[in-house]
């Protein structure tokens, strides 16, 4: 259970002999839900005056994919690091955690909810997400989920969440307050309102587009990449099973994990990523999920011309099959 530290004068730890003096503060561990109830009553008057927009203003991204984040789990710059990439003034070396948004026929599909989700959407002037598709349940792909709260308000329904069963279980555990009847029924405030749709290895339709899940190996935990038309988005990959490689033939655009110059246990290193991209033979490949060892310009100079590093804000067309 999530807990928060509180100060309290109740149940003082002093002995009866000390009772004439004010009891000292002590720590209590209280469930997060209780804390929120207290905050609700404290701020309920303030919130009466709060006006949230009823409809969202959002840039039209139809037919496009925008990289919202292209960094590894630490992001770039890394806190406390003064290496040339982390201190670079080139905005292409500033990488938020991995996420992308796609303008599909019936709305905007977000892939993963990175911890910087709010900043990512604001920076691209995207005010509305119609559905979310998860690749896997690692923290760097999940922990911006609370920022989905506004979208159920704008959509007038729970936000459709497409993910595997184990990702749903992780979400229900990590964001327990969103599923707790007490917190869901607060008179003020709000929790994310989500409607789960299970993703299996079968192709599915989301927002008017056919999407094919691609099983990828990423350490212990199952993960998916996705093929949309002749574009595939495959972040967090160590290798593809043979049957997945078969689903990645004939691509125009491949988006592929590339963590750092050296190999890594659960991600593709630079050499492996180039080999994989060349073997799959997409017309062009963009690398994502990059760490600070990969300086943007210097790395691009070493790559074949049809392989480039992506960067936050890069916008490319979705390619119909
Ligand atoms: Zn990741
Ligand atoms: Zn660095
Ligand atoms: Zn991961």
Distance from C-alpha of 153 to C-alpha of 53, rounded to nearest angstrom = 9
Compute the distance from residue 206 Cα to the ligand 1 centre, in Å. Answer: 23
- Using pLDDT thresholds of 50, 70 and 90, give the confidence band for residue 186: confident
State the distance from the centre of ligand 2 to the C-alpha of 75, rounded, in angstroms: 10
Ligand 2 centroid distance, CA of 83 (Å): 4
CA–centroid distance, residue 81 to ligand 3 (Å): 22
CATH of 64-317, one of 3.40.50.720, 3.60.15.10, 2.40.50.250, 3.40.50.2020: 3.60.15.10
Task: Break the chain into its structural domains and give their ranges.
Answer: 3-48, 64-317
Query: Is residue 171 within 8 Å of residue 194, measured between CB atoms?
Result: yes
For residue 167, the ligand closest to its alpha carbon is 3
Weakest-pLDDT range from 27-41, 94-108, 234-248, 255-269: 27-41
Tell me how far the alpha carbon of residue 166 lies from the centroid of ligand 1, in angstroms: 16
Over residues 272-283, the mean pLDDT reads: 98
What is the predicted pLDDT for the residue at 188?
67
Neighbours of 20 (CB within 10 A): 6
For residue 29, the cross-strand partners are 5
Per-residue pLDDT tens digits for 147-178: 999 999 999 999 999 999 999 999 999 999 99
Half-sphere exposure at residue 191, Cβ-oriented, CA atoms within 13 angstroms = 21
Residue 97 gets which letter from DSSP?
B
Q: Which of 306, 151, 282 is nearest to 225 (CA)?
A: 282
pLDDT at position 115 over 60:
yes
Task: Give the C-alpha separation, 28 to 36, whole Å.
Answer: 15
CB-side neighbour CA atoms (13 Å) of 217 = 11
Please report which ligand is nearest the Cα atom of 71: 1
Q: Which ligand is nearest to the CA of 84?
A: 2
In the reported structure, the alpha carbon of residue 136 is separated from the centroid of ligand 1 by a whole-number distance in angstroms of: 9
> How many A from CA of 8 to the centre of ligand 1?
40
Cα 311 to ligand 3 centre (Å):
18
pLDDT at 43 over 50: no
**pLDDT tens column, 63-110:** 999 999 999 999 999 999 999 999 999 999 999 999 999 999 999 999
Q: How high is the pLDDT of residue 183?
A: 86
Give the pLDDT of residue 260: 98
Please, which pLDDT band fits residue 39 given cuts at 50, 70 and 90?
very low
pLDDT in the model for residue 252: 98
Distance 114 CA to ligand 1 centre (A): 9
Between 288 and 181, the more confident residue is 288
Ligand 1: centre distance to CA 143 (Å): 11
**Gap from CA of 236 to ligand 2 centroid (Å):** 20
Q: What is the pLDDT of residues 203-253, one digit of tens each?
A: 999 999 999 999 999 988 899 999 999 999 999 999 999 999 999 999 999
State in Å: Cα 299 to ligand 2 middle: 15
Neighbours of ion ligand 3 (CB under 5 A): 138, 236
Question: Which of helix, strand or coil describes residue 41?
Answer: helix
For 240, the token pair is 């593809």
The whole-chain average pLDDT of the chain stands at 87
Interval between CA 290 and ligand 2 midpoint (Å) = 12
Tell me the whole-structure pTM to 2 decimals: 0.84
Inter-residue contact 234 to 225 (CB < 8 Å): yes
The rounded Å distance from CA 91 to ligand 2 centre is 14
Shortest-distance ligand to the CA of residue 80:
2
Any idea which ligand is nearest the CA of 295? Answer: 2
pLDDT score, position 217: 96
The C-alpha atoms of residue 161 and residue 167 are separated, in whole angstroms, by 10
């Amino acid at each position: 259970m999530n807990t928060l530290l509180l100060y309290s004068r109740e149940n003082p730890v002093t002995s009866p002999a000390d009772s004439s003096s004010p009891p000292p503060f002590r720590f209590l561990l209280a469930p997060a839900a209780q804390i929120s109830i207290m905050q609700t009553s404290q701020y309920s008057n303030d919130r009466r005056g709060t006006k949230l927009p009823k409809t969202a203003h959002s840039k039209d991204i139809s037919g496009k994919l925008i990289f919202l984040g292209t960094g590894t789990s630490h992001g770039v710059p890394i806190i406390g690091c003064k290496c040339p990439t982390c201190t670079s003034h080139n905005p292409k070396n500033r990488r938020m955690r991995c996420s992308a948004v796609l303008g599909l026929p019936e709305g905007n599909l977000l892939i993963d909810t990175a911890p910087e989700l709010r900043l990512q959407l604001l920076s691209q002037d995207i005010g509305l997400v119609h559905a979310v598709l998860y690749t896997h349940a690692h923290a760097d792909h999940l922990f911006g989920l609370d920022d989905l709260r506004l979208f159920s308000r704008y959509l007038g329904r729970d936000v459709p969440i497409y993910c595997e069963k184990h990702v749903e279980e992780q979400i229900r555990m990590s964001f327990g307050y969103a599923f707790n009847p007490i917190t869901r029924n607060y008179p003020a405030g709000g929790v994310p309102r989500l409607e789960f749709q299970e993703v299996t290895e079968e192709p599915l339709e989301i927002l008017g587009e056919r999407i094919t899940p691609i099983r990828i190996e990423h350490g212990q935990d199952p993960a998916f990449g996705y093929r949309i038309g002749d574009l595939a988005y495959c972040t967090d990959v160590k290798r593809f099973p043979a049957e997945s490689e078969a689903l990645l033939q004939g691509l125009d655009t491949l988006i592929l994990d590339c963590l750092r110059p050296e190999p890594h246990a659960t991600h593709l290193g630079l050499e492996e990523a180039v080999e994989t991209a060349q073997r799959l033979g997409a017309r062009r490949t963009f690398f994502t999920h990059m760490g600070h060892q990969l300086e943007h310009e210097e790395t691009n100079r070493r790559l074949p011309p049809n392989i480039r590093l992506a960067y936050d804000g890069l916008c490319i067309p979705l390619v119909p099959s």
